[in-house]
Structure 1
């Protein structure tokens, strides 16, 4: 991992992944996309990590695509452009399906692909000074790779405004659109995220992963016999699991389950 990406994990299994490119407002290029994708895959396979916080250094969360990268792309062939676009799409997909709960910490601007990063995280906490924009059409482009996740977050109706207008909107509007879950003063970002982490590590790690997968399975799916059977099968497996048995016994015995450490949560 290069100096542009910093991963730190505490004793509770809470990892902070920091994009460290403040000189370019944490914009991403092909190198950072590759590093982020690989790091997310490694985090997914690391049993010591229970929660991931995605954050960035400096005044702004992410300005989206690096202009120098975009200049290089202008000279790409059709095949090279397609391959490059698929790498960005793979990053977003990898983030979105990560088996660990993810929290994004947003300060300053989140523009273009930065909104994609926000949309792929499970929980988004923004500073009240944050600004957002899906700015691609101003460059004659479209927010294609991030679109499945942004539309899932804000809905088709809002996307029809903000994809087309590329106008900037503030944190209050982002909250109204469901792009973010909480808006707080910037000096309260870390305390707010710390509280959320406390809730997350109180849940069974396998149960949280299974609950996240459950959402993907049932979201917008018709309630058919097959879906009903699938949900019944999922809870059956959870009840029969070691974690499920430990959680129930801990509740009945009025004690903390074994996945909760010494932290007061």
Structure 2
């Protein structure tokens, strides 16, 4: 299988795309596999979802041979096909779990959508990025809501239109990634450790809070909503356990033991 999902003892789901002979480009079958796997992972009681790929490059984006073959389909069939890619981005972006993306080598075209859909993204120093669609006479349509959220409209005006290749330090500056790593495995371990140290309900609630608050005008309704959110979680079992553990100077019950 090109897409695998493995659950660790710490309840972390590792989703891996393995199509290195095609630079992990995705076609209709790969997209369907990814959607099915992510939807399945979204329903699991896990602590995090990690997205990675095998081989030299993270992903070349859409498989160009597949894209060219779509010219034989009519407009309605092309819309239906594009909606599947849009669904992939949506199920990843709306995952209730914290998501971590690990990027090596080249990440072109639609691959930037996957990166932008994840909560945390880390890339190697030699990683290269490109919104390459206009070079092919195309546009980065279905990934645009997520990439523009990540890098902002002003930067999108440049990189959507020029299709420049940019390096990891520029991706960091733009906000597409959060960190540059000398060792992706070590970075994966680091971020998983950080996430596992935190209350699992609180982490999911914090993620949903971002979606509820980002871009909203700060009015009385939003102020009241956020006050209710903290009040609810403060009296929850997890909130009380976290506060008690702090005052008792002990680890809360959700943290992994040394043997895990």
Q: CA deviation at 1:263?
A: 4.0
1:81 alignment partner in structure 2: 78
- Structure 2 partner of 1:4: 2
Gaps of 5+ in 2: none
Give a deviation string over 1:98-141, Cα, whole Å, max 9, x none: 11111111000000000100000011110000000000111111
Q: Deviations over 1:212-255 (max 9, x none)?
A: 01111111110011111111111111112111111111111111
Alignment length (residue pairs): 260
Over 3 Å counting, the alpha-carbon distance change for 1:160 and 1:241 in structure 2 is same
* Alignment partner, residue 187 of structure 2: 192
Match of 2:119 in 1: 122
The structure 2 residue matched to 1:100, chosen from 91, 97, 102, is 97
The answer to whether the aligner puts 1:21 opposite 2:19 as a matched pair is yes
Deviations 1:168-209 (A, max 9, x none): 000111011011111122xx1110221111010111111101
The partner residue of 2:196 within 191, 195, 201 is 201
Matched, 1:91 2:50: no
Q: Tell me by how many angstroms 1:15 deviates.
A: 1.9
The corresponding residue for 1:32 is: 30
Partner of 2:217: 222
Residue aligned with 1:74, SS: helix
**TM superposition score normalised by structure 2:** 0.97
Root mean square deviation, CA, Å = 1.2
- For structure 1, the residue ranges without an aligned partner over 5 or more in a row are none
- Please name the residue that 2:243 is paired with: 248
- Structure 1 position 68, deviation (Å): 2.3
* 3-state secondary structure, aligned to 2:6: strand
Name the stretch that deviates more: 247-256 or 107-116: 247-256
Structure 1 runs of 4+ with >4 Å offset: none
The TM-score with structure 1 as length reference comes to 0.95
